[in-house]
Structure 1
Amino acid sequence: MTGGDRQSALVNADSFWFTYTLSSIAAIIAETVTYPLDLTKTRLQIQGETHVGGLIVAGQKRGMVKTIVGIGSEEGAIKLFQGLTPALYRHLLYTGCRISFYEIIRDKVLKKNSDGSFPVWKSSLGGLTAGAMGQFIASPTDLVKVQMQMEGRRRLEGKAPRVKSTAQAFRKIITEEGVRGLYRGVVPNVQRAALINMGDLATYDTVKQGVLQYTSLTDNWVTHTISGTCSGLSMAILGTPADVIKTRIMNQPTENGRGKLYAGSMDCLVKTVNQEGFLALYKGFLPIWGRLGPWSLIFWISFEQIRKLCGVSSF
């Protein structure tokens, strides 16, 4: 790459759309590879919803391995990717926005220290803010994804199909509940995203700085692997309780635009803990971690390598 081309790339790297495009590509790669585990954790999180609001929510209780094997054998292996389309739409909005917003917050709002470091409190605040903003924009696609993920289970239980495609799901929600219905579960969804991004972005940035400062490793794929692995574990620990609540609120049946099972995220939290115990908030933790770990690893390595191929500095 010539000096002029490199200078042009560096200028483009400062733009919102440059970061948005590269992070979206990396997210699509990570999402596609790890999607079956996301479907599995959604199924696990719905298990145990019984006698809530006068309704009985049926469902055979299974562990992670039996759930994923059961989906493949009972519904067909292709069903392990049911809901992938809205999931990819979601990341085109969510990850593209959250990474771009974080970079703007880090470099132009909170700003790095004069030595190039970025304190943990700043990276945590930046991650919380960027995650909340990105998820608010993408929340409707998350709602459709959750509903599509549950269709195979519903049909095996003898229930009528609820959604048939991504477009039909959007039309159905708007027709029955209005545009406001697209944002059902937005509060726990935003809470979850804020926590997960605090864990992801703050951990990745902090671990990467520490590795480069205190070890002989350089800014290469080994450093990115270490940082991405740590961020994946942090994401799972911080985000699982909010993810369980988000999933249950989004999956619940509605009447006149109101949920039949839970009045809101706090009501869902209280009922879940009272009826199933505190550990119910960590249902699906293993597949969440089993997915977020590889997801984070694949995303960050892909993102950093794509940036390198474009001739710009690492994240």
Structure 2
Amino acid sequence: MVHIQVVTIKEKAPPSTKEYNYADTFWCTYIVSVVAASVAELFTYPLDLTKTRLQIQGEAATTNGKSVKYRGMLKTAIGIVNEEGALKLWQGISPALYRHVIYSGIRIVSYETMRDQILMKNPDGSFPIWKSAISGVVSGAIAQYIASPADLIKVQIQMEGKRRLMGEPPRVLGTAHAFKKILAESGYRGLWKGSIPNVQRAALVNLGDLTTYDTAKQLIMLKTGLPDSHLLHCLSSVCAGLVAATMGTPADVVKTRVMNQPTDKNGIGLVYKGSVDCLIKTVENEGFLALYKGFLPVWIRMAPWSLTFWLSFEQIRHTLGATGF
């Protein structure tokens, strides 16, 4: 009798077609965010400096009785060029770029993490606006709190040219000197002076920027059928810039004034007790519209900043083979 043994050979499962995409990783997204933000910051920084100078106008008259010559956005910018030199329009750019190494990277990866892994999109791929709003506020607040020391140094450096013209002695000579001076006078806690209004502003700005950009992009694609293209990115970023400027300017004015005020040896402000006190005094002394000082340069800067950032961000991701935002 012949026994025939049948041997069954198990077929190997086909290899997974899903390949690891480094372009969608945490660190690649972080780096792309920083690069895109640095490009946008360099391009629009003169408007940020002009905005800061405008926000301080009027404060001297209410705190030390000095008469102040009010200027608009254009006259302020021209005045800086004529009185201090054209390059002074980029005064404080170093700490501004240092800030984005921390701030922009954290805010983008935090938002994407909350959207894709924590709050989660709907099965159809949409992301409800209330979830987007929570993600924008939380990611902006976290990123800004960590980056607050760089923002403090930037504001103080931006005001140095104005102090010299007013005959006042310089407070800081550069980024490193400002950092050491703050540490010597107020300790590490002093690096977070004005962090509360700073975080409040960042939460509102990111609610306007991230939430509006993400929501506008979804709605425009849904309603018009536009593909994920440069035109879509432009339309979404314009909406984001306007909403972010409208929501963030009052907190930005308060943040700038709290950060720019002198402090005693314990690091306590000599003009304002905190962000609420600054808000009240500003409205009482200068009126409600003082909270929107610098709105025009904020908006004019926010629009091209948002446009430059999102176009750069999306294009770099597309070039690397990553998915869209």
TM-score computed with the length of structure 2 as normaliser: 0.93
| Cα distance between partner residues in 2 of 1:51 and 1:154 | 15
| Cα distance between partner residues in 2 of 1:111 and 1:57 | 55
Long gaps (5+) in structure 2: 1-15
Long gaps (5+) in structure 1: none
Tell me which residue corresponds to 1:232.
241
**Equivalent residue runs for 1:143-162 within 5 Å:** 143-162=152-171
Specify which of 250, 257, 261 is matched with residue 248 of structure 1.
Answer: 257
Tell me which residue corresponds to 1:173.
182
| Cα distance between partner residues in 1 of 2:95 and 2:68 | 25
| Cα distance between partner residues in 2 of 1:299 and 1:261 | 36
| Cα distance between partner residues in 2 of 1:261 and 1:51 | 12
| Cα distance between partner residues in 2 of 1:89 and 1:227 | 27
How far off is 1:128 after superposition?
0.1
Q: Deviations over 1:12-59 (max 9, x none)?
A: 244321111000000000000000000000000000114556x34664
Q: Deviations over 1:190-237 (max 9, x none)?
A: 000000000101100111001111113110000000000000001000
Q: Are 2:95 and 2:150, in contact at CA under 8 Å, matched by a contact in 1? A: yes
| Cα distance between partner residues in 2 of 1:112 and 1:76 | 50
Tell me which residue corresponds to 1:286.
296
Tell me which residue corresponds to 1:261.
271
Q: Deviations over 1:257-305 (max 9, x none)?
A: 1111000000000000000000000000000000001000000000000
1:313 is the counterpart of 2:301: no
Q: Deviations over 1:76-101 (max 9, x none)?
A: 00000000000000011101110010
| Cα distance between partner residues in 1 of 2:205 and 2:17 | 36
Q: Are 2:136 and 2:207, in contact at CA under 8 Å, matched by a contact in 1? A: yes
Counterpart residue type for residue 36 of structure 2: A
Q: The residue matched to 2:171 in structure 1 has which SS?
A: coil
Q: From the superposition, tell whether residues 6 and 306 of structure 1 become closer, same or farther in structure 2 (CA, over 3 Å).
A: farther
Q: From the superposition, tell whether residues 20 and 59 of structure 1 become closer, same or farther in structure 2 (CA, over 3 Å).
A: farther
Q: From the superposition, tell whether residues 6 and 105 of structure 1 become closer, same or farther in structure 2 (CA, over 3 Å).
A: same
| Cα distance between partner residues in 2 of 1:112 and 1:230 | 22
Tell me which residue corresponds to 1:104.
113
Q: Are 1:49 and 1:56, in contact at CA under 8 Å, matched by a contact in 2? A: no
**Equivalent residue runs for 1:169-208 within 5 Å:** 169-208=178-217
Tell me which residue corresponds to 2:98.
89
Specify which of 100, 124, 145 is matched with residue 115 of structure 1.
Answer: 124
Specify which of 131, 135, 141 is matched with residue 126 of structure 1.
Answer: 135
Q: From the superposition, tell whether residues 251 and 5 of structure 1 become closer, same or farther in structure 2 (CA, over 3 Å).
A: farther
Q: Are 2:62 and 2:285, in contact at CA under 8 Å, matched by a contact in 1? A: no
Tell me which residue corresponds to 1:68.
77
Q: The residue matched to 1:202 in structure 2 has which SS?
A: helix
1:301 is the counterpart of 2:311: yes
Specify which of 59, 81, 100 is matched with residue 49 of structure 1.
Answer: 59
| Cα distance between partner residues in 1 of 2:139 and 2:25 | 16
Q: The residue matched to 1:259 in structure 2 has which SS?
A: coil
Rg comparison, structure with higher value: 2
1:222 is the counterpart of 2:231: yes
Specify which of 16, 29, 45 is matched with residue 35 of structure 1.
Answer: 45
Q: Are 2:60 and 2:68, in contact at CA under 8 Å, matched by a contact in 1? A: no
Q: From the superposition, tell whether residues 72 and 50 of structure 1 become closer, same or farther in structure 2 (CA, over 3 Å).
A: closer
Instruction: State, as a whole percentage, how many aligned pairs show the same letter.
Output: 59
Counterpart residue type for residue 155 of structure 1: R
Specify which of 15, 23, 26 is matched with residue 25 of structure 2.
Answer: 15
Q: Are 1:49 and 1:58, in contact at CA under 8 Å, matched by a contact in 2? A: no
How far off is 1:5 after superposition?
12
Q: From the superposition, tell whether residues 126 and 154 of structure 1 become closer, same or farther in structure 2 (CA, over 3 Å).
A: same
Q: Are 1:6 and 1:311, in contact at CA under 8 Å, matched by a contact in 2? A: no
> What root-mean-square deviation, in Å, do the aligned CA atoms of Structure 1 and Structure 2 show?
1.5
